[in-house]
Structure 1
Amino acid sequence: MFGTKSKTNYANGQVLDADGFRLRLRVNARARRISLRLDNKTGEAVVTAPRPRDLSQAVEFALTRRDWILGHLEKRTVAGMFQPGMDIPYLGSQLRLTHSGDRAAARLIGGVLSAGGEGEAYHRRIERFLRKAAKDFAEAHTELYAQQLGATGVTVSLFDAKGRWGSCTPGRKAIRYSWRLIMADETVFSYVCAHEVAHLKHPDHSDRFWAEVERLFGDYRPARQWLKTHGTALFGYGA
């Protein structure tokens, strides 16, 4: 184990066994400051520094965020495949997953989402329900913002990418969303819809783009911050 006062010369790509988690070190000359994220594929915490000489400070920073890292890793581990007895987030509320006792498709009654089947069959039925709900939400809100923008003929689809919430191909008027957004707060999902619709007009992240997002959605900053703070945990569901 290493301490915060260690003078070890760390290297780009090095992986450290921290107190309860693995920490990967990265150097990115384009980074403006030290940053920390979780890698959903490896389960590692990744800390990035602008220069090699900043890695010691980056390690110290990561260690101060130990509780945050372990908390998110625990959520990622607990989530996984959908099973009866789980509580899952759903548009800002919580749903309890139960077994219907038969092979029926998933049904939502109040705050309870029930389905039949065992193991993967149960998991697929729950995921199918969530995907449909996500598609319905995305289509409705995309149409709402597209009308404000004066755009017509926009198509909506879902994807399963880890680490991305949406994508827009302006030339084809095609927008894709992560189906896991159905497990985010409703305002967050709405923000992503406005964000992607704004790309139909501005295929970049210029000041004009963000001004368009604000015109369509309002103050987007809290929703954007929610994704940065809590979004990682959602990628653990259905993994």
Structure 2
Amino acid sequence: MIALLKPSYRDGDTVDFGAYRVKLAVNPRARGVKVRIDRMGNVVATAGKPGKLADAVAFTRTQHDWIVKQLDKCVQAERFTPGQVLTIAGLSVILAEKAGVISPRLVDGQLITSGDEATYARRIERWLRQQALKALTKETDAYALKLGFTGVKSSLFDAKGRWGSCTPARKAIRYSWRVILAPPSVLSYLCAHEVAHLRHPDHSPRFWAEVTGLYGGDYRPARNWLKTEGQNLFKYQ
């Protein structure tokens, strides 16, 4: 019988976990393996010696929910307030306030509504959710049709640290509404990614080839944007 070899890692390596990256560290004083979030919000997996780094990676995979919760705490919550400048669907928009305007409206680069602090923020978020669902549904339907799928249900969710999920059996895809604050190319990539899961419920080479075909080119810049810049969007709550 041929023994399966564990992946080889070195001190200082970085492992891509999708929603975040994990830095590997060797500490001779460490007992067993552990994972922590440092002061800068980096995920660090530690082992007592290099030969145990593979075990540290395996252990880290079991701690995904805990890691996401800790990363959420690293992002200071921020409400939508008048005067903020947001990038919405690629456009620079200033949040503005005008008494009596209940339903937000976009006029000359200003998104206008009214209300006390909580009401104002809630109205802006509701409007952003509406715009996100429209854009995501349009992109999703177009990509799904390319693969021969119709009747795909797009919806929004509020999970922190996750951008999307796909349930192929139900032809259901859920997205984070915050992606409307990302560049349009990133939103398109996210839709291509989740639609590709309708056919490939994994991250195999065939899956990534499908993403490339749907997206129409190199998806890596958009994927990297989500990894490096996307976490900052979860501050809006």
The 1:144–1:83 alpha-carbon spacing in structure 2 relative to 1, beyond 3 Å, is same
Question: 1:73-100: per-residue Cα shift (whole Å, max 9, x none)?
Answer: xxx44x6111111112212232110112
Distance 1:178 1:85 in 2: 24
Q: Could you state the TM-score of these two structures normalised by the residue count of structure 1?
A: 0.73
Partner of 1:229: 228
The 1:39–1:14 alpha-carbon spacing in structure 2 relative to 1, beyond 3 Å, is closer
Partner of 1:128: 126
The 1:14–1:144 alpha-carbon spacing in structure 2 relative to 1, beyond 3 Å, is closer
Q: Give yes or no for contact 2:45–2:57 (8 Å, CA) kept in 1.
A: no
Q: Which runs of 5+ in 1 are unaligned?
A: 1-6, 32-36, 44-75
Q: Give yes or no for contact 1:40–1:235 (8 Å, CA) kept in 2.
A: no
Partner of 1:81: 79
Please show how residues 109-120 of structure 1 align to structure 2 within 5 Å.
109-120=107-118
Partner of 2:73: 42
**Structure 1 residue identity aligned to 2:57:** A
Partner of 1:211: 209
Distance 1:10 1:115 in 2: 54
Residue 25 of structure 1 deviates from its aligned partner by 4.5
Partner of 1:186: 184
Q: Give yes or no for contact 2:81–2:95 (8 Å, CA) kept in 1.
A: yes
Distance 1:14 1:160 in 2: 24
Q: Could you state the TM-score of these two structures normalised by the residue count of structure 2?
A: 0.73
The 1:40–1:89 alpha-carbon spacing in structure 2 relative to 1, beyond 3 Å, is farther
Q: Percent identity, please.
A: 48
Residues matched between the structures, number? 193
Q: Give secondary structure in 2 for the equivalent of 1:210.
A: helix
Residue 22 of structure 1 deviates from its aligned partner by 7.1
Residue 148 of structure 1 deviates from its aligned partner by 0.7
Question: 1:155-188: per-residue Cα shift (whole Å, max 9, x none)?
Answer: 1100001111111000000011000000000010
Partner of 1:198: 196
